[in-house]
Amino acid sequence: MSYLRKCNECGVEAHTEEELEMFSKNSQSKYGRANICKVCQNKKWTDRSKEWKAKHRYKNRYNITLEEYNKRMATSDHCQICGSKDNLVYDHCHDTMEFRGVLCRQCNRGLGFLGDTKEAIEKALEYLKDKR
């Protein structure tokens, strides 16, 4: 049986007018539909979006390239506070945006909740010493 459209990505075929609804609209194409199904089209856009976000996230946040971000994150394979190898993040000074090191998400948040100051961390340490 012949088909009206066939997806160039996954090979799904449309044999009826109703099945053409599975394909992205394209007024330039025969039958008004592209040779890519909506599922594959969405996947392409999602992949492109993720790639674009990865490239621009670090430029907007830290004013560095994706390559520089990856280079800095490769400086350690564990949290520089607790040693965990899970959920590693880029730690930076919020005033200068300067890279400080690689931390796990929990330690990074802990520093942030204490205001990223030595004084607050020393007060917390004194508090714990008094309570033991």
Domains and CATH numbers, the chain: 1-65 (no CATH), 75-131 (3.40.1800.10)
Give the rounded percent of residues in the chain with a pLDDT score beyond 70: 98
- Per-residue pLDDT tens for 27-48? 888 778 888 899 998 888 887 7
Reduced to 3 states (helix: H, G, I; strand: E, B; else coil), residue 35 is strand
Q: Which residues pair with 33 in a beta bridge?
A: 25
Per-residue pLDDT at 1: 55
Instruction: Look at the pTM and tell me if it is higher than 0.75.
Output: no
Per-residue pLDDT at 52: 82
Match 């007024």 to its residue by tokens. Answer: 27
Taking the mean position of all CA atoms in its chain, how far away is CA 31? 37
